[in-house]
């Protein structure tokens, strides 16, 4: 498998395909007497969300409008499903949704269906679509996203299904794509793709390919552009951001990106994920403690507190090694939050192994834990391991773990009560009823109300709140969030 840089010739073909599709869809739109629409469904991680922002940009450049119909499975002329192979039951979700769209295709409400994302790197999934879902027009993998217009045009011209699953890894700079960002204040910025770690439970290295890093200069150019466009928060993304730069010639590391990004004063928050304990440098932690606009939140996957289980997972650190990093973070990033991922019921996990996981969770005092019951992923090494844990044992252990981790999260939220915290406003809360939401620099979710004396001031505009900074007095704690009342805007606007 090789890494191929996308060049200007590829871009010319990309642009020509976009232009031809624009004309094709315009002709169909005229025939139907209405604008054609698209629906884009995204499953999985934030890298998938970033890919979907590119897909949305391409679909818009084709002259399609985003469907205004509500609901995940609303009909549209063009439907794109961007899949995930990591989340449990992802295959059931995808195939169930494809079944629903059969009726939309028959009625003519949907003309084109494309399926992409990590699930398409599993041959069994591609074969199932081939055999059982003949109305799917296009199948492609994450490495082929830069060829989406080319592949779609080919499928439409030939009037038959196109399948493009690459054996190579590509890297196309984000400037290559039209991007339609989901949020007005936050920009997702992938800095690298792929993974070289080959954890035995994980399909990502097979789905996303080998590690490959974007150009340092292109990343900084994109960040400067985002700052000039008014984005207040950026999320730097990669399967393992701390391994950024390996294989590049300039010697730049992830710490260099953080260092330079934090000097862009327009950014109120610089966030990043995901991190691997084996690659997290002291310099990154130092920068998190020193720079006011780098988020004081570290998501660092533990997965297990047992050294034996970590070995079988191919996680090259020990529980004590993990705790050294956690203690260093707590010491240098005052008041920072530490969150993690944990898998329960990995093959061969004993009760003693599991108890060690509980013990390290208490020692680390995680602010939040994302807990998962192990499930077999076809194509991974762990799928062939003996000593698979019985489902009832996994469920019982999972219950004990979530009881503990929920109490740790609740304690973390309780510690904020009575304090005033600066938050970045994300918009109207899902709770509705005049409640807004945002996050602290430690990534705690805050729901808050705005007093009438602030709302009645000249210049207040509810539609312009996203991305603004304000102080909120925290008055009440919930299990996973806190409630408060705004005291003032802090961004000088």
Per residue in 12-63, pLDDT tens?
Answer: 999 999 999 999 999 999 999 999 999 999 988 889 999 999 999 999 999 9
Do residue 306 and residue 379 come from a single domain? Answer: yes
248, 251, 252, 253 alpha-carbon torsion, rounded to 10°:
90
Asked if the model's pLDDT at residue 70 lies above 80, the reply is no
Beta strands in 132-225 (DSSP E): 138-140, 162-164, 169-171, 186-190, 192-193, 212-213
Do residue 469 and residue 446 come from a single domain? Answer: yes
Domain region containing 101: 3-171
Task: Give the residue from 260, 295, 330 where a domain finishes.
Answer: 295
Confidence of residue 3 (pLDDT cuts 50, 70, 90): confident
Per residue in 399-412, pLDDT tens?
Answer: 999 999 999 999 99
Asked if the model's pLDDT at residue 144 lies above 60, the reply is yes
- C-alpha–C-alpha distance, residues 242 and 215, integer Å: 15
Task: Give the residue from 232, 265, 295 where a domain finishes.
Answer: 295
**Interacting residues of 308 by C-beta distance below 8 A, sequence separation 6+:** 348, 353
From residue 179, alpha-carbon distances to 51, 118, 360 in Å are 9, 20, 42
3-state secondary structure 341-391: EEEECCCCCCHHHHHHHHHHHHHHCCCEEEEEECCCCCCCHHHHCCCCCCH
Do residue 429 and residue 361 come from a single domain? Answer: no
pLDDT at 365: 97
Task: Give the residue from 124, 146, 171 where a domain finishes.
Answer: 171
Q: Write the CATH number for 484.
A: 2.40.50.140
- Cβ atoms of 303 and 315 within 8 Å: the answer is yes
Confidence of residue 75 (pLDDT cuts 50, 70, 90): confident
Do residue 126 and residue 47 come from a single domain? Answer: yes
Dump the DSSP string for 408-467. HHHHHHHTTTT-EEEEEEEEE-TT-TT-EEEEETT--EEEEE--HHHHTSTT--GGG-TT
51, 430, 91, 181 alpha-carbon torsion, rounded to 10°:
-10
Q: Which of 28-32, 160-164, 472-476 has the lowest mean pLDDT?
A: 160-164
Residue 180: inside a domain: no
- C-alpha–C-alpha distance, residues 362 and 337, integer Å: 14
Do residue 24 and residue 147 come from a single domain? Answer: yes
Do residue 64 and residue 165 come from a single domain? Answer: yes
Structure tokens at 107: 């009625």
Per the structure, the count of domains in the chain is 4
Q: What is the mean pLDDT of residues 449-470?
A: 92
Per residue in 365-377, pLDDT tens?
Answer: 999 999 999 988 8
pLDDT at 87: 65
pLDDT at 230: 93
Asked if the model's pLDDT at residue 176 lies above 60, the reply is yes
- C-alpha–C-alpha distance, residues 284 and 259, integer Å: 9
Asked if the model's pLDDT at residue 71 lies above 80, the reply is no
**Interacting residues of 307 by C-beta distance below 8 A, sequence separation 6+:** 318, 319
Do residue 223 and residue 306 come from a single domain? Answer: no
Asked if the model's pLDDT at residue 1 lies above 60, the reply is no
Q: Write the CATH number for 303.
A: 3.30.750.200
Looking up tokens 């109207």 gives 428
More confident residue, 96 or 60: 60
Do residue 213 and residue 199 come from a single domain? Answer: yes
Q: Residue 461: exposed, middle, or buried by beta-carbon count in 10 A (0-12, 13-18, 19+)?
A: exposed
Do residue 331 and residue 291 come from a single domain? Answer: no
Do residue 410 and residue 424 come from a single domain? Answer: no
Confidence of residue 74 (pLDDT cuts 50, 70, 90): confident
pTM, two decimals, is 0.93
Do residue 21 and residue 131 come from a single domain? Answer: yes
Looking up tokens 């009625």 gives 107
Per residue in 180-190, pLDDT tens?
Answer: 999 989 999 99
């Amino acid at each position: 498998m090789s890494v191929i840089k996308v060049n200007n010739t590829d871009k010319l073909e990309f642009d020509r395909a976009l232009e031809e599709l624009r004309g094709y869809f315009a002709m169909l739109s005229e025939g139907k007497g209405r604008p054609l629409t698209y629906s884009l469904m995204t499953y999985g991680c934030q890298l998938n969300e970033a890919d979907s922002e590119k897909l949305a940009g391409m679909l818009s450049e084709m002259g399609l409008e985003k469907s205004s119909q509500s609901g995940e499975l609303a009909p549209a002329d063009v439907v794109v499903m961007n899949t995930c192979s990591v989340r449990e039951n992802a295959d059931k979700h995808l195939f169930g949704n494809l079944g629903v769209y059969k009726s939309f295709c028959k009625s003519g409400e949907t003309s084109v269906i494309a399926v992409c994302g990590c699930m398409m790197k599993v041959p069994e999934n591609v074969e199932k679509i081939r055999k059982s879902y003949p109305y799917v027009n296009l199948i492609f993998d994450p490495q082929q996203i830069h060829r989406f217009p080319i592949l779609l045009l080919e499928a439409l011209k030939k009037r038959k299904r196109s399948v493009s699953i690459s054996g190579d890894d590509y890297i196309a700079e984000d400037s290559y794509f039209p991007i339609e960002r989901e949020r007005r204040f936050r920009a997702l910025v992938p800095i690298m793709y792929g993974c070289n770690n080959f954890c035995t439970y994980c399909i990502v290295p097979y789905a996303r390919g080998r590690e490959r890093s974007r150009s340092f200069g292109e990343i900084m150019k994109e960040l400067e552009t985002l700052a000039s466009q008014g984005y207040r928060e950026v999320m730097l993304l990669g399967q393992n951001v701390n391994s950024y730069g390996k294989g590049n010639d300039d010697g730049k590391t992830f710490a260099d990106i953080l260092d330079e990004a934090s000097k862009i004063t327009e950014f109120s928050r610089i966030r990043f994920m995901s991190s691997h304990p084996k690659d997290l440098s002291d310099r990154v932690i130092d920068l998190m403690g020193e720079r006011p606009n780098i988020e004081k939140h570290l998501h660092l996957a533990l997965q297990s507190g047992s050294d034996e289980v970590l070995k079988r997972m191919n996680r090259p650190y020990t529980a004590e090694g993990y705790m050294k990093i956690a203690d260093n973070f707590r010491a240098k990033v005052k008041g920072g939050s530490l969150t993690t991922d944990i898998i329960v019921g990995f093959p061969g996990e004993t009760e003693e192994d599991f108890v060690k996981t509980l013990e390290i969770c208490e020692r680390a005092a995680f602010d939040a834990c994302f807990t998962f019951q192990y499930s077999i992923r076809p194509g991974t090494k762990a799928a062939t391991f003996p000593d698979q844990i019985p489902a009832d044992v996994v469920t019982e252990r999972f219950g004990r773990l979530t009881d503990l981790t929920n109490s740790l999260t609740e304690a973390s939220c309780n510690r904020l009560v009575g304090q005033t915290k600066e938050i970045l406003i994300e918009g109207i809360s899902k709770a509705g009823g005049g409640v807004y939401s945002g996050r602290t620099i430690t990534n705690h979710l805050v729901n808050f109300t705005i007093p009438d004396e602030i709302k009645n001031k000249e210049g207040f505009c509810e539609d312009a709140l996203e991305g603004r900074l304000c102080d909120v007095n925290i008055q009440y704690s919930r299990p996973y969030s806190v409630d408060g009342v705004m005291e003032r805007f802090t961004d000088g606007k």
